[in-house]
């Protein structure tokens, strides 16, 4: 394959893929057709399983431009292959945002052009444009279109593709699209729907049946039927039908559940703007990027991603973030520095209404409509990408599964040896060709057990049920085994390690550049009418929904602490009056001194005082996690000038204030609180210019408002650690599982919480790694701060040496004092990742606290930890953790909301106690998989040894002997040995992750040799008994009923032409039966990862019952059972005992090995 023919799509993204072009080749197809006929269709199956071979075997290389078929390969570690067919469509233009008007393009952005699109030719002012032929293909629910300029396929996401600025959204895209332009864009973007097609049962059945495992079973059943082993073949078919039916039911249910989740409210009627004035009703499926939709006052479920250009919305985004707190969305800025930036969904999410989120209510002014411009539709939306990740998940990469395939290949090799041995032996004994073919192929079905996948899945299914009982739900069962290998768990802080809610500890105002003493009650009379409390009461995004205050928990706590009252005007009031004060906050009536309340003369003064304290919120700038602040513009009743109030992270707020208003002790005071684990919010205030009108304020950018502020003081919030947190973290540390904190909170607060919950112990040091990007010809630098000794600062790594194995080594301290942790901010993490990439992995080895981390940085951190061979777990409450939850080996969401569908595990318990439960069950399931795999491998080898020995005398096991072994012994044992519950404690070491290890191979090989020795011994010893007679079809030896008194060889039963009823067969049947049971007991491990086997009563009952049954029918033969199992025992009892001796000896010796 030539490298120059390779193109890459989605470059730099998670789903980056290589693409090659191919054209159909007639002669290759003819050859494949001939091969398919001669192979009985097996060649077609092979090409179906291997897309790369399928394309290369039927096509020839060509350029992507001329390709009819594409071969795709992911660039990640899985290197998955896919094939896609290239389609062609006719369109008037090459790209969705091309202008259709040849002569006048100025009016098109606003949709004023009225040109009709024809399938053949398009007329523009008398000129005809020939339609363009556009090549495209669909892969994972996404369409890629050919671009002649870049000579590659490209993806059209939406309005962002044209790099449109925020200001031009207002100027060029606020009038909507014409019907013609909408129809044209729909050619590229398709219908606006997230189509989760529920496959028909027939399609699912075909796909399931074509699985290599079921094809192998079909091959086995055909082979057994040819040998007249109908009963066993019927039993396998019965089990396969149950397995397929169960699988189809589960898969279809998952599709139906996802379809119902997506389909709910996905198709609605919307109001769409056509031109400057026209508004018409349309179906949401008709929407395309560039359409302008009207958001109704009573809200709606968003059918697309759209950016607000007029008005304000209160939105519930729980479907995406897992956080049910209503969020305020404001209109996109039309002027200022931010307006000149290109539209970016990630950076401008506070102005964006995302698909699937619920707009609870809207706020509009004096007849203005709340409008939004459609940015993305269908699978390009945030919700669409979430659904795509569920529909097309990445394969689970786990060493156990890779080793299992290698082990199966070894079994295939063993089967190959048996295959050759059978052919050679049969030819030497002049066996008919038909018998040679059947028996040589039969050895393959014996060596590779068809029931292996079902048996290995049993342990995972049982673990999933046990997890469900403790409130942990799983959508990716294969990951349960991976949980058993976890050696690092990342935790979000707020809502995960600590309580969701914050309690107000106190406030500390600042006046004249100095802090006042802290006050515990913000509602006390001396504070209630101050600017400080007014800022607490007005600077928030709270709203009333059905009469109840709703919003961010922090905002709610701060507002309720003031004792003020929030009032929102009704729709009628905003229509009748000038909507300068849409929302009003005011202090409670009892804030006026009681002495005055009973005095009629002061009644008017009371009303006047109350009126002067009423504050109307004119404009909100919502909280931004990037900016770490929010602000509001307000007007106090009776005043002409407006004020701006600001709150946010103390460091950020202080940087926006006049320096003389910030107390000199600001840094020391802040550190005092944060070291104690308090969450600190800073407040600031500014009086705006008198010339600013309400309309001018609406168009101002926040950068102009949030500057030259006056510092007001600090609000100190207490975030309590959950009761279970410390105990769980201690349990994980004792189990040698590393724990990290990844939070968006303040660094010192995070370090304090880490100390309080035991993540960082009292005697351990914490070193903050801070980094600064290049600036003014100074290179990027790293600074190390010791939190115990803030005065000591080491720049770069002059005195601190980082070592990959030892973490950090400092010659000045003793070995006992070496234990410490790094703490890293999101800003430092970004700088180190970009400018010091060689340090990232080394730093990740010793860092414990990651603070001020953005959502995408959390995902990036998980990837870094995985790259240094950690098996990573992530536990979060769903808010901003979705990416990391998906990326981690085991993501555990503590939120039951819709966003949790992205996480493999969801816990109904809102604390981290679910983590050790999951790890325990994962370890138990992993050990169960090992036990079952070893047992099934030994079962196939034991049966292989028995059949190989019997082939040497041209004999075999009987149909009902196979049936008894495979159904009564193997399946019952395999499924009951998986029932051991998890051990109650997490031990220091993890279970092994590899099947290919010296200890495990030694165990398996020892058992194989032991079984071989005793089978050969029994096979030889039985021939030396005085009553032994060699079988021939004429002699009918061994067919005498045990109840007969005579030793004559009279013909009392039909001749056994298959040579089943002989002494070697019966001996090996009993010996192997005991060996199956012995191996099951030996390999059924209990402590330290599972409960002991004697507590698994179904398994013990099965073993004891089968052992007793086999022993009894051997010692005290029952003619009916002997006849059924085709066993042959001598008539006299004394010789029987001598025959039993080697068998029981074999059992006891193999049990002890």
Within 8 A by CB and 6+ apart from 310, the residues are 331, 364, 368, 369, 370, 371
Q: CA-based Rg of the chain, rounded to a whole angstrom?
A: 38
Q: How far apart are CA 142 and CA 1138, in angstroms?
A: 73
What DSSP designation does 969 have? I
Q: Which one, of 303, 356, 357, lies nearest residue 329 by Cα?
A: 357
Cα dihedral: 929, 931, 935, 937 (round 10):
50
Q: Residue 742: enclosing H or E segment and its boundaries?
A: strand 738-742
Q: How far apart are CA 220 and CA 302, in angstroms?
A: 53
Helical H segments across 1024-1132, by residue range: 1063-1083, 1097-1115, 1119-1125
Residue in 492, 552, 881, 1036 annotated catalytic = 492
Within 8 A by CB and 6+ apart from 124, the residues are 100, 101, 102, 103, 115
Record the tokens describing residue 123, joined without a space: 């007329």
Beta pairing class for 738-742 and 488-491: parallel
Q: How far apart are CA 397 and CA 363, in angstroms?
A: 49
Q: How far apart are CA 7 and CA 4, in angstroms?
A: 8
Burial class (CB in 10 A: 0-12, 13-18, 19+), 612: middle
171, 333 in Cβ contact below 8 A?
no
Q: How far apart are CA 182 and CA 175, in angstroms?
A: 13
Residue 492 designated active-site: yes
- Paired with 363 in beta bridges are 312
Q: Residue 1142: enclosing H or E segment and its boundaries?
A: helix 1133-1152
Burial class (CB in 10 A: 0-12, 13-18, 19+), 1089: buried
Q: How far apart are CA 96 and CA 132, in angstroms?
A: 12
Burial class (CB in 10 A: 0-12, 13-18, 19+), 436: middle
Within 8 A by CB and 6+ apart from 582, the residues are 363, 365, 568, 569, 574, 616, 617, 618
Record the tokens describing residue 357, joined without a space: 């989120």
What DSSP designation does 176 have? B
Work out the angle at residue 270's Cα, subtended by the Cα atoms of residues 267 and 276, and round it to the nearest 5 degrees: 150
Burial class (CB in 10 A: 0-12, 13-18, 19+), 450: buried
SS (H, E, C) 386-418: HHHHHHCCCCCCCHHHHHHHHHHHHHHHHHHHH
Q: Which residues are catalytic?
A: 492
């Amino acid at each position: 394959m030539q490298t120059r023919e390779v193109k890459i799509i989605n470059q730099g993204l998670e789903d980056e893929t290589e693409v090659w072009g191919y054209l159909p080749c007639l002669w290759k197809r003819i050859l494949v057709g001939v091969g398919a006929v001669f192979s009985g269709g097996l060649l077609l199956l092979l090409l179906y399983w291997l897309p790369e071979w399928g394309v290369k075997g039927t096509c020839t290389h060509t350029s992507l431009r001329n390709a009819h078929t594409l071969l795709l390969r992911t660039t990640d570690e899985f290197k998955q292959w896919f094939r896609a067919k290239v389609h062609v469509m006719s369109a008037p233009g090459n790209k969705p945002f091309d202008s259709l008007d040849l002569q006048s393009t100025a009016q098109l952005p606003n949709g004023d052009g009225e040109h009709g699109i024809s399938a053949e030719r398009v007329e523009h002012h008398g000129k005809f444009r020939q339609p363009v032929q556009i090549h495209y293909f669909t892969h994972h629910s996404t369409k890629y279109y050919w671009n002649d300029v870049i000579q590659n396929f490209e993806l059209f996401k939406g309005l962002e593709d044209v790099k449109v600025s925020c200001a031009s959204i207002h100027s060029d895209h606020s009038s909507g699209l014409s019907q013609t332009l909408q129809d044209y864009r729909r050619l590229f973007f398709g219908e606006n729907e997230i189509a989760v097609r529920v496959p028909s049962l027939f399609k699912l059945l075909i796909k399931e049946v074509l699985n290599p495992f079921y094809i192998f079973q079909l091959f086995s059943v055909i082979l057994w039927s040819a040998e007249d082993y109908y009963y066993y073949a019927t039993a396998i078919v019965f089990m396969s039908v149950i397995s397929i039916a169960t699988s189809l039911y589960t898969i279809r249910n998952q599709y139906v559940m996802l379809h119902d989740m997506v389909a709910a409210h996905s198709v609605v009627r919307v109001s769409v703007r056509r031109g400057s004035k026209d508004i018409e009703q349309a179906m949401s499926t008709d929407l395309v990027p560039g359409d302008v939709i009207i958001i109704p006052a009573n809200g709606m479920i968003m059918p697309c991603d759209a950016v607000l250009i007029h008005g304000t919305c209160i939105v519930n985004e729980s479907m995406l973030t897992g956080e049910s707190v209503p969020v305020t969305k404001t209109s996109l800025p039309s002027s200022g520095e931010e307006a000149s930036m290109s539209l970016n969904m990630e950076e401008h999410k506070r102005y964006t209404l995302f698909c699937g989120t619920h707009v609870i209510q809207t706020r509009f002014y004096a007849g203005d409509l709340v409008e939004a411009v459609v940015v993305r539709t269908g699978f390009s939306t945030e919700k669409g990408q979430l659904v795509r990740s569920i529909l097309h998940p990445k394969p689970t990469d786990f060493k156990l599964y890779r080793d299992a395939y290698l082990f199966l290949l070894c079994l295939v090799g063993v089967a190959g040896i048996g295959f050759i041995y059978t052919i050679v032996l049969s030819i030497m004994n002049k066996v008919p060709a038909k018998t040679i073919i059947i028996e040589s192929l039969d050895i393959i079905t014996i060596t590779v057990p068809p029931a292996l996948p079902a048996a290995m899945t049993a342990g995972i299914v049982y673990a999933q049920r046990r997890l469900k009982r403790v409130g942990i739900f799983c959508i990716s069962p294969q990951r349960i085994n991976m949980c058993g290998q976890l050696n690092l768990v990342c935790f979000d802080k707020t809502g995960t390690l600590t309580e969701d809610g914050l309690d107000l500890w106190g406030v500390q105002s600042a006046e004249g550049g100095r802090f006042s003493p802290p006050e515990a009650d913000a509602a006390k009379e001396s504070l209630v009418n101050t600017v400080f409390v007014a800022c607490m009461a007005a600077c928030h995004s709270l709203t009333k929904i059905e009469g109840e205050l709703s919003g961010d928990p922090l905002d709610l706590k701060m507002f309720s602490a003031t004792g003020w009252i929030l009032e929102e005007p009704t729709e009628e009031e905003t229509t009748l009056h000038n909507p300068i004060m849409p929302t009003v906050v005011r202090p409670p009536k009892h804030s006026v001194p009681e002495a005055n309340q009973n005095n009629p003369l002061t009644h008017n003064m009371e009303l006047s005082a109350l009126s002067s304290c009423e504050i109307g919120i004119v404009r909100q700038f919502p909280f931004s996690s990037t900016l770490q602040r929010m602000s509001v513009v307000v007007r106090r009743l009776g005043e002409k000038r407006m004020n701006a109030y600001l709150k946010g992270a103390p460091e950020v707020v202080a940087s926006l204030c006049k320096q003389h208003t910030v107390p000199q002790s600001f840094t020391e005071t802040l550190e005092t609180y944060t070291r104690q684990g308090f969450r600190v919010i800073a407040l600031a205030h500014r009086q705006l210019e008198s010339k600013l009108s309400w309309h001018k304020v609406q168009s101002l950018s926040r950068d102009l408002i949030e500057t030259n502020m006056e510092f007001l003081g600090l609000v100190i919030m207490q975030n309590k650690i959950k009761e279970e947190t410390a105990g769980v973290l201690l349990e994980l540390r004792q189990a040698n599982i590393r724990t990290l904190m990844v939070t968006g909170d303040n660094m010192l607060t995070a370090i304090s919480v880490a100390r309080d919950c035991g993540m960082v112990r009292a005697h351990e040091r914490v070193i903050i790694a801070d980094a600064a990007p290049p600036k003014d010809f100074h290179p990027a630098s790293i600074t190390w701060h010791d939190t115990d000794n803030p005065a000591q600062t080491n720049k770069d790594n002059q005195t601190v040496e980082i070592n990959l194995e030892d973490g950090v080594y400092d010659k000045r301290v003793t070995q006992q004092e070496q234990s410490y942790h790094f703490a890293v901010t999101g800003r430092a993490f970004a700088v180190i990742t970009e400018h010091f990439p060689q340090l990232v992995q080394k730093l990740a080895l010793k860092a414990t606290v990651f603070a001020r981390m953005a959502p995408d940085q959390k995902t990036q951190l998980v990837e870094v930890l995985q790259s240094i061979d950690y098996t990573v777990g992530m536990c979060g409450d769903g808010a901003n953790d979705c990416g990391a939850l998906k990326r981690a080996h085991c993501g555990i969401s503590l939120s039951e909301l819709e966003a949790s569908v992205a996480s493999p595990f969801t816990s109904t318990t809102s604390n981290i106690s679910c983590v050790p439960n999951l790890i325990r069950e994962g370890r138990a399931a992993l050990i169960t998989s090992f036990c079952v795999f070893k047992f099934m491998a030994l079962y196939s080898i034991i049966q292989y040894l028995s059949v190989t020995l019997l082939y040497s005398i041209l004999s075999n096991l009987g149909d009902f002997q196979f049936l008894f072994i495979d159904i009564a012994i193997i399946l019952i044992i395999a499924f009951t040995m998986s029932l051991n519950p998890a051990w109650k404690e997490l031990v220091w070491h993890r279970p092994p992750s590899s099947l290919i290890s010296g200890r495990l191979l030694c165990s398996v090989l020892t058992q194989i040799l032991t079984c071989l020795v005793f089978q050969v011994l029994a096979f030889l010893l039985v021939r030396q008994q005085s009553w032994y007679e060699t079988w021939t079809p004429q002699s009918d030896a061994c067919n005498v009923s045990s109840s007969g008194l005579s030793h004559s060889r009279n013909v009392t039963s039909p001749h056994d032409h298959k040579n089943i009823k002989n002494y070697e067969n019966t001996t090996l049947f009993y010996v192997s039966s005991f060996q199956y049971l012995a191996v099951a007991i030996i390999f059924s491990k209990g402590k330290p990862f599972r409960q002991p086997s004697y507590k698994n009563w179904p398994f013990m009952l099965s073993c004891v019952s089968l052992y007793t049954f086999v022993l009894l029918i051997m010692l005290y033969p029952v003619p009916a059972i002997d006849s059924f199992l085709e066993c042959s025992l001598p008539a006299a009892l004394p010789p029987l005992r001598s025959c039993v001796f080697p068998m029981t000896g074999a059992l006891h010796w193999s049990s002890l090995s």
